Structure 1
Amino acid sequence: MKQILQTLMGYCQATVLVVALGFSTTASANEGGFPLDKAPNRVSNNASLQNGAKIFVNYCLNCHAAVSVRYNRMRDIGLTDQQIKDNLILTDAKVGDLMTIAMSPKDAKVWFGKVPPDLSVEARARGADWLYTYFRTFYKDDDRPTGWNNLVYPNVGMPHVLWQLQGERAAKFEDRKDPHDESRTEKVFVGFEQLTPGTMKPQEYDDNIADLVAFMSWMAEPVQLERKRIGVVVLLFLAIFTILAWRLNKAYWKDVH
């Protein structure tokens, strides 16, 4: 019985350690870079996921594939096969096909300098906050080959594919003395200047980006909601079992001297 209790305590300690390391990794991943905005959590909202899917296939799936996901997986967000076929498949692909693109990796490397990353698990690799901030911090930069730059990903090779929705913006920087070395100056971002209006108002654009990021987060792990529900049940079971084991252990050893 003592061995069982020690094993259970070991599992609990390991779980706490893993969670702590996870939070530590998330925090440290953003140190030294542009501060990230918190992405709204809409993974459980089917309406948001459906809108995010529409944005994804229209603006992202031209250059970026998502080969770990099939179109018919979007049944899980409330869509029928016919709705998927009529609204989300823009090629001759079938509903059961993987979300691939026509551009070959070889051509992509020639045209863009590198192969655009597959977006199946990009949300897990980068984090929802990173993506949410990234899509909202593009600005015009004539020194870049694409004419665009990004605050989260400086000198990014990707153009701002959503610029018609957001409009064209310029980033304003100020030269300020380095607080650690007064002999040096550094450029500090102080805000955006809207150059041309987009088809969406700023709040509307941010709202749609939140839906896009939610869809990418769902796509990276479609079973995440089920996993979390099962996780809660398992933790409750372990908690109840631990109490029962503790009481049984106490009852078993009470007459042993």
Structure 2
Amino acid sequence: MIKKLIGAVALLLACTSTFAAEGGFPLDKAPYRVNDMSSLQNGAKLFVNYCLNCHSASSMRYNKLKDIGLTDQQIKESLLFTGEKVGDMMNVAMTPKDAKQWFGTTPPDLSVIARAKSVNAGPSGSDYIYTYLRTFYRDTSRATGWNNLVFPAVGMPHALWERQGPRELTTVAMHEVEGAEGAPKTWERVTTVYDAQGFSTVKAEPVANYHGHATFDAKFKAATPAQVATYDNDIADLTAFMSWMAEPVQTFRVRLGVGVMLFLLLFFLVTWRLNASYWKHVR
């Protein structure tokens, strides 16, 4: 019974880890840079320049960025562009009414998005953000001209596409096809290629004697791999900043936890020796 329970829990954790995204696309592990000040500062710059145009971070003040090593003067010169003050919240100028009219919905606040996208015993919100921002592709069938593997049919365009550069996407999906009335189901492999402009070509072919399960694979081909590598590094910094922003005290919490554990260990050793000294004559 215990073995079955352990097996069920392991299967649940594996499924949660693999299919944490809206579309079931597996998430990449985000590099951990929350304790790297230079990464957080670069992430803050990217966030203000690319994300804060449509999304707000209404739980964060600009002056809180001093915790990642920025001075008031640096914040004023590099991150404030429309007359905000250092003590202001990181709000967007666009009103909800305008957002509804332009995009059909109000873009979500990103203050705690890294925590909101975390899955218990599964991928973290950082993994979600890191993968999501690296899996946009051109798709002319969408109103925005963009689509996303992690969030299919997303309404958000790829705001950082110029930094990433043009890419081609090839997807291969294996799925079952309903047969004629009374006939068994058959398997089909569908290969879809999205070129750098977003135009797609689809090739479907039947697969005989297939005894596996439904699969989906995706592969990007970049025009300039070096540019994509630089972009991935920037996204790692942006992800780190958004993770820090969701919980600015997380590094202090970890240090405090380590300190408490060391104190308890020391206290245990002292108590153990006192106990031995107290009872040694009784024995």
Pairwise TM-score range, normalised by the shorter structure: 0.7 to 0.9
In 1, Cα distance between equivalents of 2:88 and 2:157: 28
> Is 2:130 the partner of 1:132?
yes
Within the candidate set 212, 235, 245, 2:261 is matched to: 235
Q: Who is 1:7 aligned against?
A: none
Query: As a proportion of its length, which structure holds more helix?
Result: 1
Within the candidate set 123, 136, 141, 2:114 is matched to: 123
Alignment of 1:175-186 (within 5 A): 175-177=173-175, 183-185=186-188
Q: Is the 8 A contact 1:171 1:189 kept in 2?
A: no
Q: 1:245 to 1:229 in 2, by over 3 A?
A: same
Q: 1:183 to 1:27 in 2, by over 3 A?
A: same
Q: Secondary structure at the match of 1:56?
A: helix
Q: 1:86 to 1:24 in 2, by over 3 A?
A: farther
Q: Who is 2:5 aligned against?
A: none
Within the candidate set 34, 45, 49, 2:40 is matched to: 49
In 2, Cα distance between equivalents of 1:81 and 1:24: 50
Q: Who is 2:201 aligned against?
A: none
The one-letter code matched in structure 1 to 2:240 is: A
Q: Give how far 1:111 is off.
A: 2.0
Q: Is the 8 A contact 2:76 2:86 kept in 1?
A: yes
Alignment of 1:1-257 (within 5 A): 29-32=16-19, 33-126=24-117, 127-177=125-175, 183-185=186-188, 188-194=216-222, 201-249=227-275
Q: Is the 8 A contact 2:132 2:150 kept in 1?
A: yes
Q: Is the 8 A contact 1:112 1:157 kept in 2?
A: yes
In 1, Cα distance between equivalents of 2:12 and 2:83: 42
TM normalised by structure 1 equals 0.80
What count of residue pairs does the alignment treat as equivalent? 232
Q: Give how far 1:145 is off.
A: 1.4
Per-residue CA shift, 1:115-139, capped at 9, x if unaligned?
Answer: 2111111112221111111111100
Per-residue CA shift, 1:191-216, capped at 9, x if unaligned?
Answer: 1244x669x71111111111111111
Q: Is the 8 A contact 1:121 1:220 kept in 2?
A: yes
Q: Is the 8 A contact 2:50 2:159 kept in 1?
A: yes
TM normalised by structure 2 equals 0.73
Q: Give how far 1:182 is off.
A: 6.3
Q: 1:113 to 1:29 in 2, by over 3 A?
A: farther
Q: Give how far 1:241 is off.
A: 2.3
Q: 1:29 to 1:119 in 2, by over 3 A?
A: farther
Once superposed, what is the RMSD of the aligned Cα atoms? Answer: 2.8
The one-letter code matched in structure 1 to 2:107 is: P
Q: Secondary structure at the match of 2:166?
A: strand
Q: Give how far 1:110 is off.
A: 2.7
In 2, Cα distance between equivalents of 1:161 and 1:102: 17
Q: 1:239 to 1:24 in 2, by over 3 A?
A: farther
Q: Is the 8 A contact 2:18 2:27 kept in 1?
A: no
Quick check: 160-169 or 102-111, which moved more? Answer: 102-111
The one-letter code matched in structure 2 to 1:183 is: T
In 2, Cα distance between equivalents of 1:145 and 1:164: 19
Q: Give how far 1:189 is off.
A: 2.8
